[in-house]
Amino acid sequence: MKTVKLLASALVVSLLLSACHTNTSDETTKDDYMDEDTTTEATTTNATKGITQKDWGTSDGKQVHLFTLTNANGVQVSISDYGGTITSFVAPDKNGKKESIVLGFNNLDGYLAHPPYFGATVGRYGNRIAKGKFTLNGQTYTLATNDGQNHLHGGNKGFDKVVWTAGNMDANNPQLSLSYLSKDNEEGYPGNLNTTVTFTLTDDNALRIDYHATTDKATPINLTNHSYFNLSGDVSNTILNDWLMIDADRYTPVDSTLIPTGQLKPVTGTPFDFTTPHQIGERIAQVPGGYDHNFVLNKKDSSLTLAAEVTDSSSGRKLQVYTTQPGIQFYTGNFLNGSIKTDEGKPINQHTAFCLETQHFPNSPNTPAFPTSILQPGQTYHYVTEYKVSTIK
Ligand code: GLA
């Protein structure tokens, strides 16, 4: 017990030294850090509403930063300008215990080793483009085939691996804007694409993400966030007992390379029917490889509506995903295999996290029947997704 307390005190001291505190009267420190289970508390900085920033290493010779957004309830989200990456999302469980509910690392090195898009802003085109080819205005474009024969998540150096530029900030407002200019022909895509992603942590515990872009040539675009959630806050637990609802009567079945066949298939009577809550693990064995599918959201327009809801009964944490997008990719961490370890050395095994990536349907540039993912010059791409946390008893 004494040793635990001593270790905890040492952690407090080192955290206080390393954390970027602008406020020294930190009355929440004790409660947050003196807990015996210190696995994820290391992600917590201070609890004053607003935004803080610290240097976080370099990439491509550019300074990288880590920003921490804190709302009035002490919910905290850390985001790096490397890849527009959400590195932690600290939220209370039903007993008030704060832990990060996303996979992430405390240091940039963890990301430079290229984990599979942990928390990243994915672009220029999230998800797959068949055989890395598409034709637009009579011209055929060739992209990297970085996922077997297909193009995935923007190619070899997508938006998840570049350093974004942070906009002006107000220290008292938990909001961060990151911009990136993707030049004409970068990763083979046409047009200079000016992208801004704005993260806002609201006082009703929602992380709102606004995506904006403009281009000077017609281009496919499909920006998303690739956070891996484990609502228990501990990757020793799988996500298979979590209850999931997806407001989708149809999904897009895929071929063996995960490219949609083009059909919009009813979920009724299939393991894809999450229109009422089901545990993720209930029917996963019937889905070869696990879930990695796009769901066609039941929406008539592009208003911000509830797309999915996940509840972890043991921690009592609930995540709701709202979006203006037509689709959502539900991925159950099928390719995680224990080879990547958390900062605490725990292996990140298969099905220990899920992703809910709001998006246009995969391979839309080659599937005219799907809603278009082409941005034209003169148009503004804008969409919103919110990840909202709460608890049930
Ligand atoms: C997405 C894809 C998956 C996989 C992960 C990253 O969710 O749909 O197939 O590539 O990204 O590993």
Q: Which amino acid is at 309?
A: E
Note whether 329 and 355 are same-domain residues: yes
Q: How far is the CA of 32 from the centre of ligand 1 (A)?
A: 34
Domain membership flag for residue 44 = no
Atom of ligand 1 nearest to the CA of 355: 7
For ligand 1, atom 5, which residue shows the shortest CA distance? 116
CA angle 312, 272, 316 (to 5 degrees): 5
The residue assigned the tokens 């490397």 is 82
The alpha carbon torsion through 284, 298, 228, 65 (nearest 10 deg) reads 170
Q: How far is the CA of 131 from the centre of ligand 1 (A)?
A: 16
For ligand 1, atom 2, which residue shows the shortest CA distance? 127
Q: How far is the CA of 251 from the centre of ligand 1 (A)?
A: 17
In the set 226, 293, 351, 360, the catalytic residue is 226
Q: How many domains does the chain have?
A: 2
Q: Is 226 a catalytic residue?
A: yes
Domain membership flag for residue 280 = yes
Q: How far is the CA of 357 from the centre of ligand 1 (A)?
A: 10
Note whether 59 and 10 are same-domain residues: no
CATH code for the domain of 262: 2.70.98.10
Residue 132 belongs to domain spanning: 49-393
Atom of ligand 1 nearest to the CA of 362: 8
Beta-carbon contacts of residue 123 (< 8 Å; ≥ 6 apart): 154, 158, 159, 160, 182, 195, 221, 222, 223, 224
Distance CA(279)–CA(45), nearest Å, equals 34
Which of 292, 328, 332, 352 to probe ligand 1 with, by most ligand atoms within 8 A of CB?
Answer: 292
**What are the per-10-residue average pLDDT scores of the chain (393 residues)?**
36 36 32 34 65 98 98 98 98 98 98 97 98 97 98 98 98 98 98 98 98 98 98 98 98 97 98 98 97 96 96 98 98 98 98 98 98 98 98 93
For ligand 1, atom 3, which residue shows the shortest CA distance? 292
- Whether 267 and 301 have beta carbons less than 8 Å apart is answered as no
Distance CA(95)–CA(72), nearest Å, equals 18
Domain membership flag for residue 108 = yes
- 382 C-beta neighbours (distance < 10 Å), count: 13
Note whether 308 and 182 are same-domain residues: yes
Note whether 311 and 196 are same-domain residues: yes
Q: How far is the CA of 214 from the centre of ligand 1 (A)?
A: 26
Note whether 337 and 262 are same-domain residues: yes
pLDDT at 321: 98
Atom of ligand 1 nearest to the CA of 117: 6
For ligand 1, atom 9, which residue shows the shortest CA distance? 292
Note whether 184 and 288 are same-domain residues: yes
Torsion-angle region of residue 111: left (phi > 0), alpha (psi -120 to 50) or beta?
alpha
CA angle 249, 305, 71 (to 5 degrees): 135
The pTM is what? 0.89
Note whether 74 and 33 are same-domain residues: no
Range list of H helices, 45-103: none
Domain membership flag for residue 169 = yes
pLDDT at 300: 84
Note whether 15 and 132 are same-domain residues: no
Domain membership flag for residue 102 = yes
Burial of 35 (0-12, 13-18, 19+ CB in 10 A): middle
Which of 125, 153, 331 to probe ligand 1 with, by most ligand atoms within 8 A of CB?
Answer: 331
Q: How far is the CA of 331 from the centre of ligand 1 (A)?
A: 7
Q: How far is the CA of 330 from the centre of ligand 1 (A)?
A: 9
Domain membership flag for residue 242 = yes
pLDDT at 46: 57
Residues with CB under 6 A from ligand 1: 116-117, 127, 152, 258, 292, 329, 331, 335, 355, 357
Atom of ligand 1 nearest to the CA of 128: 8
Distance CA(383)–CA(83), nearest Å, equals 19
Q: Which amino acid is at 39?
A: T
Instruction: Using DSSP, state whether 142 is helix, strand or coil.
Output: strand
Note whether 33 and 54 are same-domain residues: no
For ligand 1, atom 7, which residue shows the shortest CA distance? 331
Domain membership flag for residue 43 = no
Domain membership flag for residue 179 = yes
Largest CA distance in the chain: 72
Note whether 92 and 192 are same-domain residues: yes
Note whether 162 and 24 are same-domain residues: no
Note whether 120 and 27 are same-domain residues: no
pLDDT at 200: 98
Backbone angles phi, psi at 29, to 5 degrees: -55, -50
